[in-house]
Structure 1
Amino acid sequence: MTFLDYRYLGALFGAVLFALFLGVFSDALVHSPMPKVPGFDLPSGEAPAKAAAPAAAAVPLPALLAKADPAKGQALTKVCATCHSFEKGGAAKVGPDLYGIVGRPKGSAAGFGYSDAMKAKGGDWTFDDLNSFIASPKTFVPGTKMGFGGEPDAGKRADIIAYLRTLSDSPVPLPAAAK
């Protein structure tokens, strides 16, 4: 070996020692303790448990519908228009046409391929059913194709349902509010 080869080996050895020293020095500057359990919790999709707070009295749907504003509901359904049509005889898009949905049998809009879960649900769309579906489609019909996550605000849901009710040749009467 020549003197030049020893210089290259010395430089390599020095670089390795410098890297080791730099690692030890940086660990001494910034200390991060090891966790008791390795890893981290993945989100489960469930809401975290909150401290027991007094629950607000839920307003019954008939009372919400009595105060609902169909114009606000129409504005809230602008997002829905990307997947649904609202015109009489409207074509199915990603979702079925919603004209006449209140009182219509579930899974019955012509030209739309419903999930087996929706077809099996059965019955007509009632105000309560629409409220539950809009709140959480996947909870109301597990296995639905509906990708919408749900509307948590009961007042907004009532506005949407009031608007959907107007999309009919003969709108279904609103349920009587308890006195």
Structure 2
Amino acid sequence: MFDTMTLTKVLGAFCGAFLVFLLGKFVAEELYASRVGHHDGEVVQGYLIDTGGDDEPTEVAEGPTFEEVYAEADAGKGERVFNKCKACHQLEQGANSTGPYLYNVVGRDVGTAEGFGYSGALSAVADVWTPEELSGFLEKPASYAPGTSMGFAGLNKVEDRANVIAYLATFGG
């Protein structure tokens, strides 16, 4: 079925196709590279597509502030959001797990859960867990406190953060 001549033809076809591919790449690079020029020390784009837009930055309409959303937060909905937190956090005082316990966390000093070894990154960014500080941390923990050992990706929706903080505020204090 397969003899030496057939294998030679297949190998030659692959080599020929590869050479055509390389030639096409070379031609495309030369075509587009010759359109880009240097003007007074800076590179000028060869193919500029005018979209008709101006260079003024457009203002993005922002939603309500966290304070406005927190004022209308629903602790019942926050309990459902807290299900994401249950894997690492407990609501009983002194019951540390992978993360520190969250009993009385709203208004508590940062890094003061008894018996939990903190990384130290949190105390560098905040003193007290106010609702605003908690919201910033829960949005994206790694960006808020670089070096934190919390591996959670974060809660993107401001409503989810407000609801879970309202739920946590019902425990303790």
TM-score normalised by L of structure 1: 0.68
Partner residue of 1:101 out of 99, 105, 118: 105
Q: CA deviation at 1:62?
A: 2.1
CA distance in 2, matches of 1:75, 1:65: 16
CA distance in 2, matches of 1:154, 1:53: 23
- Say whether 1:166 aligns with 2:170: yes
Q: Which runs of 5+ in 1 are unaligned?
A: 1-10, 37-51, 171-179
Give the root-mean-square deviation of aligned CA atoms.
2.5
Q: Per the alignment, in what secondary structure is the counterpart of residue 99 of structure 2?
A: coil
Letter of the 1:148 counterpart: F
Q: CA deviation at 1:31?
A: 5.8
- Say whether 1:78 aligns with 2:62: no
Partner residue of 1:127 out of 120, 126, 131: 131
Letter of the 1:145 counterpart: S
Q: Aligned residue for 2:10?
A: 19
Q: Aligned residue for 2:161?
A: 157
Q: Per the alignment, in what secondary structure is the counterpart of residue 80 of structure 2?
A: helix
Q: CA deviation at 1:56?
A: 2.4
Q: 1:160 to 1:53 in 2, by over 3 A?
A: farther
Partner residue of 2:118 out of 103, 114, 118: 114
Once the two structures are superposed, the pairs formed by residues 2-41 of structure 1 within 5 Å of their partners are 11-12=3-4, 14-24=5-15, 27=17, 33-34=24-25, 36=29
CA distance in 2, matches of 1:120, 1:31: 55
The structure showing larger relative contact order (alpha-carbon pairs under 8 Å, at least 6 residues apart) is 1
CA distance in 2, matches of 1:120, 1:54: 32
